[in-house]
Structure formats: C-alpha cells, structure tokens
Amino acid sequence: MPKATGQSMTSMAYDRIRGDILGGRFGADQKITISDLVKEMGFSLGAVREALSRLGSEGLVVAETNKGYRVAKLTEEELADLTRTRVMIECECLANAIRNGDLRWEAGIVAAEFELSRLHLYDPANPGRGNPDWSAAHRRYHEALTAACDSPWMLRLREMLFVQAERYRIATLPYERQSRDLEGEHRAIAQAALARDIPKATGLLRDHLQATRRILMNTVIASARGTAV
C-alpha cells in the first residue's frame, strides 16, 4: 500500500489512473468501478474520487449520475474536431519555436528524436500493447519541437490537445505496424525544424497529426459510425 497521505496520495492515484487510460489499459467507454480501483491500487476512497474528478475536468473520464465514471468515448465527430484544432495550435507553436529557437532548442530536438528512435513502439514484454517508455519519449519529442514557442497559452493548449489525442493514437496501434513509418515521420519533422524551414516543418507535422485520424477513419470508426470505438 502506498505510503502517502492527503494530496500526495491523490496525485499518485491521478497519475496511475491517467497512465492506465492513456496507455490503453482502460478502453474507451469502459466503466470504472471506484471500489475496484481502491482495492487494486491501495489508495484511499477519497484519493481515487478526487483523482477521477480531476480526470473528468480534463475530459478523460465522464461522471455518470449515481453510477460512477466511464472512460470517455472515442467518436468520429470528436476526432475530426480534435485533429483540426490540434493541427492549428501545434503547427503555430512549431512555427513560433522555429523563429525563436536557439542552440539549446536545437539540441533538445536532436536528443528527443534520437531517444525516440531507439525505443520500440510496442512493449517488448507484451507485443500486443504499446510501450509506455516509447509513449513518454514521444511526448518529450513533441514538447522539444515546440519548446522555444514564446506563448505560454499556446503551449498549454498544445499540451491539452496532445493528451486527448493520445487516447486516439493508442486505438490505432493494431493498425500502425503496416501503415506508418513513424520513425521516418519524426525524423523528417525534426530535420525540417532544424533547417528552419517553417513551411516544410509545419506541413510534415500537419500530415503526421492527420495520419492518426485517417487510420482510425479507415478502420475502427468507419466500421461503426456514430458509435463509440
């Protein structure tokens, strides 16, 4: 049982449940039973409830009246809106970063892209699931690209959109092995950013972000339009 109390226990519960959602352990629209989480994770009832409340404010779970919580659904409409908005925000962050970036920013991109290229997308111990180390490095890669953006609000919005998009990216994992060269996509974006080529870098980033939507539309969501994935 975690040796923590109060806010620290709530933060631990939040990180654990959030990681399980973004990692695909809890699927879209899956019911979350609070008592089961308390028993499994060893956190207090209050800590788990507060953690779920925070996740609800982020849109990762949905509260049901007198029923507890469910993981948020994945829908065609949300994916389209999310992708469109993320393209606008993240591409602008990247363009801003290219204009303002210094040597430290460049070094950060090189390091993040190299780290990501050395990790496997799938968990070596469980090839059917995503690799959490890859996911963490992927997040650092996108953060590195936009780190020199001088707008805190733009960066905050970029992070919010990234978190939501991760749920959809996880859903594409069974289909990405044959349909994408993720390492090549990441390398090309990094090289264009380092070359200070804003049109090329943002164009490649736009295509990269839209690929997740295209894969899902052609596979999972297209087979069940208007329903949860």
The predicted-structure confidence for 198-219, as pLDDT tens digits, reads as follows 999 999 999 999 988 888 777 6
**Using CA atoms, how far apart are residues 206 and 69, in angstroms rounded to an integer?**
34
Same domain, 112 and 141: yes
Same domain, 150 and 46: no
Q: Are β-strands 61-64 and 68-71 bridged in parallel, bridged antiparallel, or unpaired? A: antiparallel
125 pLDDT more than 80: yes
Same domain, 60 and 109: no
- CATH number of the domain that 165 lies in? 1.20.120.530
pTM for this structure? 0.81
24 pLDDT more than 70: yes
Same domain, 61 and 119: no
**Using CA atoms, how far apart are residues 82 and 58, in angstroms rounded to an integer?**
14
Q: How many CB atoms lie within 10 A of CB 28?
A: 19
- CATH number of the domain that 58 lies in? 1.10.10.10
pLDDT in tens, 56-90: 988 899 988 777 899 988 888 899 999 999 999 99
pLDDT for the residue numbered 126: 78
**Using CA atoms, how far apart are residues 25 and 6, in angstroms rounded to an integer?**
26
Q: Write out the residue range of the structural domain in which residue 150 sits.
A: 76-224
pLDDT for the residue numbered 192: 98
Asked whether the beta carbons of 63 and 32 are under 8 A apart, the reply is no
The pLDDT confidence band at residue 111, using thresholds 50, 70 and 90, is very high
**Using CA atoms, how far apart are residues 7 and 87, in angstroms rounded to an integer?**
35
